[in-house]
Amino acid sequence: MKKYSCVLMDADRTLFDFDRAQEESLKVTLRDLLTAHEQQFTPELLREYRAISNTLWGLYERGGITQPKLQRERFRILLEKLGIPGGDDLADSCNRRFVEQLGEEACLIDGAVTLCRTLAGRGGALYIVTNGIERSQLRRLEKSELRPYIRKMYISEAIGVPKPHREFFDFVFSEIGEERRASSIVLGDSLTTDIAGGNNAGIDTCWYNPSGMENPGVPCTWEIARLTDFLDLDGIRQES
């Protein structure tokens, strides 16, 4: 039976409660601006921002936009839809505030601490692999309870290529040891970045799917609904 000694974990929506962090950070970022223009933060505004952001991140993953441009464009488009003038300068200002606040939001998915503590206690090598923004991701990790268990965080902004590209994972293994590839597994919530990335890198994958979404046909080795279910997988489970 194959044994996994190295786990490459996604950050957002796998270990970190990104949706909650995103909402709180956006509220802080836009609070004074919305008040000045006699507007309010609404569920519709949040949905609009998320639609814009998700579209741009998808474009980034396919190599269609740089991360600096993505960060500006998400706010430029949102402000334009809200009818708030300011252009690129205001968009850049909003983005800086948003990224700063996001780094302070270290809320975790249920089971994340138990998962990492248990795996590390069994001698597993734990790494985070993420497409997020470097300064906010590093800050969130430092603030979180996960920090003692994570050996290193690998971030696409620093590497220069995003998941799901094989080159992202090749860089990771060039640092942690190519010999680890055969005993590694990717754990993540995204079929298009985490699972496809693991497939591109030639390593096993575990899809974290808490909402029970249908898989359109992306091959994955395992699928779990709760993070702690990962501990019971063959190759992860501690034999008595």
User: Do 79 and 119 share a domain, yes or no?
Assistant: no
Query: So which residues are the catalytic ones?
Result: 10
In a domain, 240, yes or no: no
Are 112 and 169 members of one domain? yes
Considering the domain boundaries, does residue 73 fall inside one?
Answer: yes
The count of domains in the chain is 2
Which residues on adjacent β-strands are paired with residue 125? 6
pLDDT tens-digit readout, 24-72: 999 999 999 999 999 999 999 999 999 999 999 999 999 999 999 999 9
Determine the pLDDT at residue 240: 44
Domain end: 47, 68, 102, which one? 102
Q: How many residues does the chain have?
A: 240
Report if residue 201 sits inside a domain.
Answer: yes
Mean pLDDT by 10 residues, the chain (240 residues): 92 97 97 96 98 96 94 97 94 97 96 98 97 94 98 96 97 98 98 98 98 97 98 80
Q: Respond yes or no on whether the N-terminal peptide bond of residue 85 is cis (omega within 30° of 0).
A: no
Last residue of a domain, one of 84, 102, 120: 102
Q: Are residues 149 and 216 in the same domain?
A: yes
Which residue type does 30 have? L
Residues in contact with 226: Cβ distance below 8 Å, sequence separation at least 6, in sequence order: 110, 111, 210
d(CA 25, CA 122): 35
**Angle, helices 67-82/87-102, rounded to nearest 10 degrees:** 110
125 and 227 within one domain: yes
Instruction: Say if residues 77 and 88 touch (Cβ distance below 8 Å).
Output: no
Residue 237 within a domain:
no
65 and 157 in a single domain? The answer is no
**Final residue of a structural domain among 36, 70, 102:** 102
Q: Is residue 1 part of a domain?
A: no
Domain that holds residue 33: 18-102
Chain centroid offset of residue 67 CA: 14
165 shares a domain with 46? no
Can you say how many angstroms the Cα of residue 52 is from the centroid of all Cα atoms in its chain?
A: 17
Determine the pLDDT at residue 1: 62
The pLDDT value given to residue 235: 86
CATH of the domain at 79: 1.10.150.240
Co-location of 228 and 134 in the same domain: yes
Q: Give which of 210, 202, 146 is closest to 169, Cα–Cα.
A: 202
Closest CA to 113 of 240, 17, 239: 17
pLDDT value at residue 11: 98
Domain identity same for 94 and 113: no
Residue 2, pLDDT score: 80
Phi-psi region of 63 (alpha: psi -120 to 50; beta: other; left: phi over 0): left
